[in-house]
Amino acid sequence: MAVPVIAGMGTAQPPGASQDELWESFFSKHFTGRTRALAERIFANSGVNRRQAAVNPLLEDVSDWSTERRLRRYQVEALPLGKEAVGRALTAAGLDARDVGLFVVCSCTGYATPGLDILLARDLGMAPDTQRMFVGHMGCYAALPGLGAAGDFVTARQRPALLLCAELTSLHIQPATARLDTQQIVSHALFSDAAVAAVVIPGGRGYALREVTSVTDTSTADHMTWEVTDTGFRMGLSPQVPQVLSTHVRGLVDGLLARHGIRLTEVDGWAVHPGGPRILDVVERELALPPQALAASRATLEEHGNCSSPTVLLILDRLLRAAQPPDRVMILAFGPGLTLYAALLDRSA
């Protein structure tokens, strides 16, 4: 039976702005009092130089919008962004939308019924019998359970599957406040918008999906939250997150590699979710990685910020488009739970 293979990827991002411009023209006024000095330091040390936003705060301040208004705008902005990413992925894989047997959509930054899965299936001309799955509120690691579901479907049915991760974090800027709230400052300094799609097929050329695995430490469930409020979704991000990752990441990676008889040094491509510079530093230290191993993750953070669920797929796309693509890739992503997810890919002939 043919193994699931990532045969094509497509990315789409709205217009961007530099981190310095976002600070000087918007966030320096958004944070007031003693909060402003702390915010300036956090923005400067975020590892982000440029971010993309479907709703750019330099042009449109949504911070006092109601959640209803934000979610209506989500439908307007997410649909064309998702359509662009999916179209590019299908073209890269040489498939038509009607070939898709399962369409998985991951998004935690907006909701609508009918959802993106139905609207995109309609607009792209997918077959009426295309199965759909919507993954919501898993946050930054959602791409990996989504990819796992796509891979399982391809293995069981021997038909193509399509994964789309689409996030519009720009819709959830919180109201201005003089209260010292480090978690909100960090959130506003890091997050960005993107859509990335991946086509998974039974066998063929591309990157074979060998396994998706995870571990969740429920004792730290309060360390990362995404709460629905009257003014959008509010991020909760404990400074203890890197410490929790340091406890679990080595065991997760070692277990996955051991099941496939692979040594860590045989992994030549790393797509690690850049939740922030400290997250990457912890992963690099705990796995004893060489200095350049996380270069693609750091470059993605620098150029695109943290785009939540699409981010690891942006990094994977960067790796696969390199002049010398890796032979074996480890994908790592982290989010609420606290949950750590890992996936192992290797290049198929």
Percent of the chain with pLDDT over 90: 89
What one-character-per-residue DSSP string does 286-308 give? Answer: HTT--TTTTHHHHHHHHHH-B-S
- How many CB atoms are closer than 10 A to CB 330? 22
CATH of the domain at 224: 3.40.47.10
Confidence category of residue 112, pLDDT binned at 50, 70, 90: confident
Q: Summarize pLDDT for 258-281 with one digit per residue, the tens.
A: 999 999 999 999 999 999 999 999
Query: Is residue 276 located within the same domain as residue 244?
Result: yes
Domain finish residue from 202, 236, 253: 202
Query: Is residue 196 located within the same domain as residue 211?
Result: no
Residue-range definition of the domain harbouring residue 265:
206-348
- Which pLDDT belongs to residue 33? 79
Find the mean pLDDT for residues 127-146.
96
Query: Is residue 311 located within the same domain as residue 214?
Result: yes
pLDDT at 48 over 70: yes
Q: Summarize pLDDT for 205-246 with one digit per residue, the tens.
A: 999 999 999 999 999 999 989 899 999 999 988 888 989 999
The mean of the pLDDT values for the chain is 95
pLDDT at 180 over 70: no
Number of domains forming the structure of the chain: 2
Task: Give dist(CA 6, CA 93) in Å, integer.
Answer: 9
Query: Is residue 256 located within the same domain as residue 294?
Result: yes
Task: Give dist(CA 295, CA 280) in Å, integer.
Answer: 10
Query: Is residue 324 located within the same domain as residue 237?
Result: yes
Count Cα atoms within 13 angstroms, Cβ side, for 71: 18
Query: Is residue 164 located within the same domain as residue 257?
Result: no
Task: Give dist(CA 161, CA 261) in Å, integer.
Answer: 28
Pair of tokens at residue 138? 């898993």
Query: Is residue 258 located within the same domain as residue 128?
Result: no
Q: Cα 140 to the chain's mean position, in Å?
A: 5
DSSP 8-state assignment for residue 27: I
